[in-house]
Amino acid sequence: MPAVTFSPDDRYNAFITTLDQAETGPGRLSGIAVAVKDNISTRGIRTTCASRILDGYIPPYDAHVVTLLRQEGAAIVGKTNMDEFGMGTTTENSAYGPTLNPSDPSRVPGGSSGGSAAAVASGMVRMALGTDTGGSIRCPASFCGIVGLKPTYGRVSRYGLIAYANSLEQIGPMAQNVEDVSLLMEVLSTHDPRDSTSISCPYRHTPDPTVTGLKIGVPEEFFGEGVDPRVAAVVWEAISRLEGEGAEIVTCRMPSMVFALAAYYVTCTSEASSNLARFDGVRYGPPADTKRPWHESFQERRREGFGTEVRRRIMLGTFALSSGYYGKYYAKAQAARQQVRNDFVRLFRTVDVIAGPTMPTVAFRLGEKTDPLSMYLSDILTVPANLAGVPAISVPCGTSEGLPVGLQVMGQWFRDEKVIDVAAAYEQGVSA
Ligand code: GLN
């Protein structure tokens, strides 16, 4: 097979690394250009997590998902920009500069898989891999007007993913339409014994866009305080369309939304403080000064290698896990997380899927949000799916102020097929 040549005009800074000659082969993804988020290991291709601390790191092995892409003939054309280690909602926290939103380059593309979303939205690639710990596939999909799926926890192997918060995150597909997301999902979801959370539940599915008799739960909290009324109106319109196609809309409550965001931020920072301990300036990155006492070079390397947001989260997580505070923060967050799961269990006794907006607003202006707390608040609608481990998709459903809005559909554990079907129904209904 001839190699795929790739020389994009990367005006949105979607890529950290591009490969001008990408190998391809026979298979379901033969000749298709696929971009891979830069926290997913690629053998022989630098993998930075958009962090200085991984400067010069070239993985000696492929992540399981990368092996699968190669087996199906995909041409891996580059590694996409992201928030450092996945920590962020805008792709502004990158050591390689922010990615711009192709719908309006004065705006952020969302994050943390902003480079993957921009690469797909601008047509540089047909498909991309993202990762979603608290919304990082769905948020940029929503802000850039593409489709992105966070699969059920355990359905896609994370072997070779550089961990941020491993009890929450999944690798997932991003593309311009539901059919391509479904195709990529078929390739990605195979059992892998090298990831102990990987479950054997292959996804083999052709999207079925019929929603007749389907019960869609709409939690009031997803249209509550902080959600831009203009975004809410666009999403309601989309949900009504599904009703017009035969679905039944059931309004419901999700009381755990009151503490979901706090539970998420305590959990993800705690896990990050532990996962990022391995970056000690010895094993990765530029060689440490061995003449100096170890703790001095360790401190300096971490201070210089990590960006502000990453350092903030390591400190928050270390605090939450420390003796005397553990019960007050980490243990409480786990109890709250259980409440979120319980809410989903209860709701799924009476509805098939749950729908609402993906993000409370449209894409922010670059540099607009400087206060970490207000940034964290924008994740409120995406974190419940990660806390519970359920599948969730974002599908474009119109515009507000001329910018894309995403409809989020969450499903029951291991019913990724169902959220794909509902997204397909919406997509086809609109184009009909
Ligand atoms: N914005 C969320 C955070 O900053 C989600 C990130 C993600 O899913 N990787 O943690």
Quick: pLDDT tens for 197-229: 999 999 999 999 999 999 999 999 999 999 999
Give the CA angle between residues 40, 45, 46 to the nearest 5°: 75
Q: Is 136 a catalytic residue?
A: yes
Which ligand 1 atom is nearest residue 375's CA? 1
Q: What is the pLDDT of residues 225-278, one digit of tens each?
A: 999 999 999 999 999 999 999 999 999 999 999 999 999 999 999 999 999 999
- Return mean pLDDT, the chain: 96
Q: Is 7 a catalytic residue?
A: no
- Identified catalytic residue from 51, 116, 122, 136: 136
Radius of gyration of the chain (CA): 20
149 and 136 in contact (C-beta within 8 Å)? no
Tell me if 112 CB under 6 Å of ligand 1: yes
Q: Is 37 a catalytic residue?
A: yes
Note the pTM of the prediction, 2 decimals. Answer: 0.97
HSE of 359, CA atoms in CB hemisphere, 13 A: 33
- Could you tell me which of 394, 337, 335, 361 has the C-alpha nearest to residue 113? 394
Q: Where are the domains of the chain?
A: 1-432
Q: Specify the pairing of strand 215-219 against strand 147-150.
A: unpaired
Give the H/E segment covering residue 420: helix 416-431
Phi, psi values for residue 177, rounded to 5°: -145, 165
- Identified catalytic residue from 94, 103, 112, 378: 112
Report the separation in Å between the CA atom of 87 and the middle of ligand 1, taken as the mean of its atom positions.
5
Report the separation in Å between the CA atom of 309 and the middle of ligand 1, taken as the mean of its atom positions.
11
Residue 418 CA to residue 416 CA, distance in Å, equals 5
pLDDT band at 15 (very low <50, low <70, confident <90, very high): very high
pLDDT at 155: 98
> Right CATH number for 1-432 from 2.170.150.20, 3.90.1300.10, 1.10.3470.10, 3.30.200.20?
3.90.1300.10
Report the separation in Å between the CA atom of 125 and the middle of ligand 1, taken as the mean of its atom positions.
23
pLDDT band at 1 (very low <50, low <70, confident <90, very high): confident
Name the CA dihedral angle for 235, 174, 154, 247, rounded to a multiple of 10 degrees. Answer: 30
Tell me if 316 CB under 6 Å of ligand 1: no
> What's the mean pLDDT in 143-159?
98
Which ligand 1 atom is nearest residue 132's CA? 8
> What's the mean pLDDT in 20-45?
96
Residue 390 CA to residue 398 CA, distance in Å, equals 25
> What's the mean pLDDT in 407-432?
94
Is it the case that residue 429 has pLDDT exceeding 90? Answer: no
Phi, psi values for residue 400, rounded to 5°: -135, 135
Instruction: Give the DSSP per-residue string, 30-43.
Output: TT-EEEEETTB-BT
Tell me if 89 CB under 6 Å of ligand 1: yes
Percent of the chain with pLDDT over 90: 90
Residue 423 CA to residue 175 CA, distance in Å, equals 13
pLDDT band at 2 (very low <50, low <70, confident <90, very high): confident
Q: What is the pLDDT of residues 109-150, one digit of tens each?
A: 999 999 999 999 999 999 999 999 999 999 999 999 999 999
Q: What is the pLDDT of residues 330-384, one digit of tens each?
A: 999 999 999 999 999 999 999 999 999 999 999 999 999 999 999 999 999 999 9
Report the separation in Å between the CA atom of 119 and the middle of ligand 1, taken as the mean of its atom positions.
19
Phi, psi values for residue 375, rounded to 5°: -65, -45
Which ligand 1 atom is nearest residue 111's CA? 1
Nearest CA to ligand 1 atom 5: 134
pLDDT band at 298 (very low <50, low <70, confident <90, very high): confident
pLDDT band at 432 (very low <50, low <70, confident <90, very high): low
Report the separation in Å between the CA atom of 19 and the middle of ligand 1, taken as the mean of its atom positions.
27
Is it the case that residue 431 has pLDDT exceeding 80? Answer: no
Is it the case that residue 182 has pLDDT exceeding 90? Answer: yes
> What's the mean pLDDT in 161-178?
98
* Other beta carbons less than 10 A from residue 428's beta carbon: 16
Instruction: Give the DSSP per-residue string, 325-371.
Output: TTIIIIIHHHHHHHHHHHHHHHHTTT-SEEEEESSSSSPPBTT----
How many residues are there in the chain? Answer: 432
